[in-house]
Chain A
Amino acid sequence: MQRLKNIACIAYLEWLSINRDKFLSAVVFLAVFLYLGLFGFVYCSGLLLDIPVAVVDQDHTPTSRDVIQKIAANDRLDIICYPQTTREIDQLLQANQVRAGIAIPENFEKDIQSGQPVRVSTVADGSNLIYTYNLRKAVIDINRSLGAEIMARTLVGTGMEPTRVENLLRSVEFVSESRYNPTFNYCYFLYLMLVVIAVQQTCLLGEGLTLAREKELNTWVQFALSPMSNAEIFLGKVLPYYLILLANAGLVLTGAYLFLRLPMHGSIFLLWLVFAVFALAIVSLGYWISSYCNDVTQATMIICLFNVPMVLCSGFTWPTASMAPILKYLGYLFPATWLMHAARAITMKAGGWDIVGCDILILSIMALFFVSGAIFSTRRLRRKVSPGNKNVPTSSPGPGSTAGTVT
C-alpha cells in the first residue's frame, strides 16, 4: 500500500512538472494531434487523381479523338494541354508542368484500319515514383479497354459473328485484386506509420527529459536519497507518460478511423494490447536514455534526429530483404518495427493471435529488458549521490533542502 502511495506521489510530481513547463505540455498533449492533423491533410484523399498530362495528336482523325476521349475519361488523368510536337512535351516535363506526355502518331487511324501495328507512346515523369506508378496503372487500363475494342472490331471485320467475338475475348480474363487495400489508397498504407512516429516522438520528447531535467535542476538528489526503491522511482516517473501515450494513441486512432476512414478489421482489444506493451517499452527506453544524457538539449536532439531513420529501418515501407546486409537486422532492435507490423496486421488484415503473437512476445521481451535497464540505471544514478560516495554534495539534502544547495 505504501509502495503504491509512493508511486502515486512521484507520478503526481512528474505530472506537475509537465504542466508547469508550458512548452513540454504543448509537446506532450498537443503535438501528436498537430502532427496527425497535418498528415491527415496531406494524405486525406489517399488517391492520386487528375495527374496533369499533355497529349500530342499528330493524326487528327475521329479514331485519335476517340483515344483522347478515353484518356480524358480516366479519372487518374487530366489533360491540361495539347502541344503540337513531342519536343514540347519534354519541356513541359522538365518544368514540372505535366507529369506525362502521350503521343498519338501520324497515320494512326490508317494503320489501325489496315491492321498495321500501332504504338502510342507514353512518357511519364520518373522522378517521383508515386506519379509514375499511378500513371502506369492508368495507361494499362486504357490500353486494355482500347485493345479489346479494336480487337473486337478487327475480328468482326474478318467475318466472325459479334456474339462469338465477345465470347472469344472474354475467354481469357486476367483479374487482378489488391487485397486489404482495394483502391490502392496511400493513406491506409502510410498513416499508421505516421501515428507511430508521432506518438513515439512526442512521448520520448517528454519522457527522455525526465531525468535530464532533474539532473539539470539538481533536484535528482532528493529522489536519490529518498527511502523509496529504484522500481518505485522508475514507475512513478514513467506512469504519467505511459498513460498519456496510451490516451494519445487511442484518440489518434479513433480520429483516424472516424475522419480518415482508416480500416479497422481486427480486434480492438488486441490492438490495445500491442500498444500497451509498446508504450511500456518506449517509456522505459526514454527513461533509460535520459539517465545517460547530461542535459535536456542533448537528449532532445538525439531523440529527434534518430526517429526517421529508425522508422525507415523498420521495413514498414521499404522491405527488409532489400536493405543493405548490415541494416537488415538493425530494424529488429526497435520496438516500433514490431508495433507497426502488428498494428498493420490487425487493422488491415484482421490478423489474430496467430499472426501478431510473435510481435507481442518480442515487444514484451523488449519491454522487460528496457524496464530492467531503466531500474538498473536508477540504481547507478543513485549510487553516484549516495552518502558513501565522495562526490556527494557537502550539505546533506534532506526533505526540506532546496535544490540550489547541490552543485
Chain B
Amino acid sequence: MENERKLTIARAMAEATAQEMRRDNSVFVMGEDIGQLGGVYGNTRGLWKEFGPERVRDTPISETAFIGAAVGAAQDGMRPVVELMFVDFFGVCMDAIYNLMAKNIYFSGGKFKVPMVLMTSVGGGYSDGGQHSQCLYGTFAHLPGMKVICPSNAYDAKGMMIEAIRDDSPVVYMYHKGLQGMGWLGTESGATVHTPSEDYTVPFGKAKVVREGGDVTLVGIGMSVHDSLKAAEKLESQGVSAEVVDLRSLVPLDRDTVFNSVAKTGRLIVVDEDYKSFGLTGEIITTIAERDISVLKASPQRVAYPDIPIPFSRPMERFALPNPDKIVAAYNEMN
C-alpha cells in the first residue's frame, strides 16, 4: 500500500490523545503510571514529555478518588481521559463509575455533561491469572449511562479515541492487551494497520463487516474479531464462506448490521472472550430472535469463556479461551 503508515493500537491511542490535547486545553490525562512511564500498555507514551505533569497526571493508587475526581472535573468543563489500569480493578471503584459517571447526566436532567473517557485494559491469554485477565464487556455494557467500546485495530483505535474525547457523555474505552503491540507481550499482528496521521473520528454504534461471506456470520469484538477472521480462513479451506462482523462498540450497539448479515447468511456464531452467561453472546443472539427468528437456518452458537474464574496454568487458560478451531468446530456442529 502506498504511503502506508502502520501503527500499533498503543501508538494510535497515544497519537489520538496528543492531537486532542493540542487542539483542546481542557483535555488531560490521569491514572496510574501514565506519566513518565507512558502507561503500562504504552497508550500514553510521549504525552508526559510533550504536555508535562500538570496535564498528564500520575495518580496515587486510589481509583475511587481519581475516577470520582474525573467525574467532578468533567462536570466542571474539563475533558479527562482517565485510566483504570486493568478492568479487573473495577471492584475498588465501581461506585464512581456506575453511580456517578454513568448517572449524573440523568440525575441532572442533562444539565451536567460528563465528557470523560475511562480507558481500561482487558483480556488474557498470557497467564496473568484471574484478577488481571478479564474482559468484562458485558458487565459494563449492562449498566446504563456509559458508552462501551473496544477497537480491534489501530485505525479504529485512533478514530474511536478522538470520538470518545469529543463526546459529552462518558465513554468506557476498553483495549485488549493482546492487541496493543507491546514489545514485551505477544501481540496479534492483524491489529497493527495503516493509520492516517491526521485526526479523524470513527463513530460509535456502527459495526463493520470486516470480511464478506454468504454461509455463516461470525460476530466478535476486540480479540475475538481476529479469532473469527482466522476461523473464516479455515472455513474457506473447507468451502464455507464466512462473514465477520466487528461490533466495535457495545453501547450503542449496531443491531442492524448484525441482523442484516445474519438475514443474508442464515447462520450465526458469536465469539466472545468475556464470560458466557448473561453477556454479549446472549445479547447478540437475542437481537436476531427478537427481530425475526425465521432468518435463522440453524440454532445460533456461541464460543465464549466458560463461567469459571480465569485459570493461571497455560494449558488450562488456553483450554478456556476462544480460538479459531473452536469456531470452526461450532460451525461444523450447526446444520
Do A and B bind?
A: no
Interfacial residues, chain A to chain B (CB-CB below 8 A) = none
Which residues of B approach A to under 8 Å, CB–CB? none
